[in-house]
């Protein structure tokens, strides 16, 4: 994953922020791969490009991607870029989803904190 270049004084580190969790699912809905999109500060259009490319590749293979824990900043960028995102399996009228769904992630008592 690429991260946007950010100018800061030497020795000053920006806090890494979670932008979203991405899961690629196959034709049958089974998860095939997952990763976290994160970086210093707010996401950039490069992050939207990463999501779009992942969605298109998954769609070509008959699957899709699921987004969980989407940050408000990334949600805004996805909307600005016109990337249709399914929320809980529904799309806006007339839009063809790119195989991107937003899901709520469940937390279980034995889960490790990430």
Each residue's pLDDT tens digit, 45-57: 999 999 999 999 9
Residue 75 to residue 56: CA distance in whole angstroms: 18
Question: pLDDT tens digits for 32-43?
Answer: 999 999 999 999
Q: Which of 17, 7, 1, 6 is CA-nearest to residue 73? A: 17
Q: Above 80 in pLDDT, residue 87?
A: no
Q: How confident is the model at residue 73 (pLDDT cuts 50, 70, 90)?
A: very high
Query: Would you say the pTM of this structure is higher than 0.85?
Result: no
Residue 109 to residue 3: CA distance in whole angstroms: 33
């Amino acid at each position: 994953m690429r991260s946007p270049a950010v100018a800061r004084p030497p020795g000053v580190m920006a806090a890494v922020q979670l932008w979203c969790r991405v899961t690629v699912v196959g034709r049958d809905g089974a998860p095939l791969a997952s990763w976290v999109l994160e970086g210093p500060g707010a996401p950039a259009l490069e992050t939207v490009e990463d999501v779009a490319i992942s969605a298109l590749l998954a769609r070509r293979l008959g699957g899709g991607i699921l987004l969980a824990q989407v940050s408000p900043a990334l949600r805004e960028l996805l909307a600005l870029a016109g990337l249709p995102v399914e929320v809980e399996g529904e799309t806006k009228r007339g839009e063809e989803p790119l195989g991107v769904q937003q899901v709520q992630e469940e937390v279980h008592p034995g889960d490790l904190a990430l």
